Amino acid sequence: MLMTTTSGSLPKPTWLAEPQKLWPAWRLRGSELAAGKLDATLLAIKLQEDAGIDTVTDGEQSRQHFVHGFLENIDGIDFDNRVEMGIRDNRYKAMVPTVKSELRLKGRVHGAEAQHARAHTKRKLRFTLPGPMTIVDTIADSFYGDRIKMAMAFAGLLNEEARALEADGVDVIQFDEPAFNVYMDAVKDWGVEALHRAIEGLSCTTTVHICYGYGIKANIDWKSSLGGEWRQYEQIFPALATSRIDQVSVECINSRVPTQLLSLLAGKDVVIGAIDVANDTVETPEQVAAVIAEALRFVPKEHLVVGTNCGMAPMRTDVAYAKLNALTAGTALARAAIAAY
Ligand code: ZN
């Protein structure tokens, strides 16, 4: 009951990559970089285990960025001639690569770190991949000529990698779809269908993570423009409730999402964000327990999982792990309260 997990990414050691950056430069090269990524993966798992996290991740120690870590292993993408594109409905401008020909996986994308993680932890293992809609919102196209067609092509590649991750022993595969909170109509039109293509044939648990973004300035400014109540989830939860995705991971603490919207996900596991990744103030266990208690008004305890609002990659290492300790301490308080009830 009330299993704990994280949204995926964790800070990287300073010997591996620049600290506190969303797009950090690697500090190792070639075979040293490959070995360093695996060492950092073990470190991230050990620190999550010590914090008492039930379902651990590889901390995304092997990728520079949550979307581009996947794209780098695909043929058909031109990374050399980047073009400027407004992404997330022009919330930020980014220099993005372009799809130039038929997309094909070059081979395994995350095999090395998934197998290494699996070999060294007995806990459940969650593994994250970018979702199809978020990918097509982060890349230019001069081949498919149609966003939905391109999303389905990426979904096919995600499915190939997801099946291989399941064979590696991964227990939960999570697709990150922050774009779902931006293009709500498209979620109903084709976003869920693209996710279904990505999870085809999987028997492990599947999750879609839909947040309001990392704690960077562009996102904080955007959030302050969204008004007193954030009701984006209200438009997409009904389509997710009838989907074949098992879990929906959402932002809760310090957000202006009305908690009762969680009741629209009846029948699904709900992974609530009980830790804020946009500030360095470590939550108290009581604060975490209060978020859980509020969520329990709308989600049955058998369906509630406790996690973080988003990934922690750009945070300070000491702060991130102190927050994971608060997450498990607060969840322990909530479990005790339920047992006493
Ligand atoms: Zn997120």
Q: Is 219 inside a domain boundary?
A: yes
Q: Is 77 inside a domain boundary?
A: no
How do residues 54-71 score in pLDDT, each as one tens digit?
999 999 999 998 898 899
Amino acid at 209: H
Who's near 161: CB < 8 A, 6+ residues apart? 70, 105, 108, 109, 110, 129
How do residues 173-189 score in pLDDT, each as one tens digit?
999 999 999 999 999 99
Ligand 1 centroid to 182 CA: how many Å? Answer: 13
- How far apart (Å, rounded) are the C-alpha atoms in residues 170 and 172? 6
* Residue-number span of the structural domain to which 324 is assigned: 3-66+111-135+143-340
Say yes or no to pLDDT of 316 above 90: yes
Say yes or no to pLDDT of 320 above 90: yes
Ligand 1 centroid to 222 CA: how many Å? Answer: 15
Ligand 1 centroid to 181 CA: how many Å? Answer: 11
DSSP H stretches of helix in 229-316: 232-241, 285-296
How do residues 147-160 score in pLDDT, each as one tens digit?
999 999 999 999 99
Ligand 1 centroid to 225 CA: how many Å? Answer: 18
Ligand 1 centroid to 211 CA: how many Å? Answer: 4
Closest listed residue to residue 121, CA positions, set 164, 163, 162, 171: 171
Q: Is 131 inside a domain boundary?
A: yes
- How far apart (Å, rounded) are the C-alpha atoms in residues 237 and 229? 16
Say yes or no to pLDDT of 270 above 80: yes
**Please, is 33 exposed, middle or buried when counting C-beta atoms within 10 Å of its C-beta (0-12, 13-18, 19+)?**
middle
Say yes or no to pLDDT of 215 above 80: no
Residue written as token pair 């581009």: 68
Which range among 28-37, 92-101, 205-214 has the greatest average pLDDT? 28-37
Cβ(98)–Cβ(77) below 8 Å: yes
Ligand 1 centroid to 36 CA: how many Å? Answer: 25
Report, as an integer, the average pLDDT of 295-302: 98
Ligand 1 centroid to 91 CA: how many Å? Answer: 15
Q: Is 94 inside a domain boundary?
A: no
Q: Is 75 inside a domain boundary?
A: no
Per-residue pLDDT at 22:
84
How do residues 25-52 score in pLDDT, each as one tens digit?
999 999 999 999 999 999 999 999 999 9
DSSP structure string for 204-230: SEEEEEE-S--SSHHHHHHHHTS-SS-
How do residues 118-149 score in pLDDT, each as one tens digit?
999 999 999 999 999 999 999 999 999 999 99
Say yes or no to pLDDT of 214 above 80: no
Ligand 1 centroid to 206 CA: how many Å? Answer: 16
CATH number, domain with residue 29: 3.20.20.210
Q: Is 95 inside a domain boundary?
A: no
pLDDT class for 23, splitting at 50, 70, 90?
confident
Per-residue pLDDT at 89:
86
List Cα–Cα distances, 246 to 94, 155, 178, in angstroms: 32, 17, 18
- How far apart (Å, rounded) are the C-alpha atoms in residues 338 and 304? 13
- How far apart (Å, rounded) are the C-alpha atoms in residues 123 and 138? 33
Q: Is 254 inside a domain boundary?
A: yes
- Strands 124-130 and 172-176, bridge-based pairing: parallel
Ligand 1 centroid to 254 CA: how many Å? Answer: 14
- How far apart (Å, rounded) are the C-alpha atoms in residues 160 and 61? 21
Who's near 218: CB < 8 A, 6+ residues apart? 91, 92
Q: Is 258 inside a domain boundary?
A: yes
Total domains in the chain come to: 1
Closest listed residue to residue 130, CA positions, set 280, 37, 8, 307: 8
Ligand 1 centroid to 273 CA: how many Å? Answer: 10
Cβ(71)–Cβ(82) below 8 Å: no
Report, as an integer, the average pLDDT of 313-320: 96
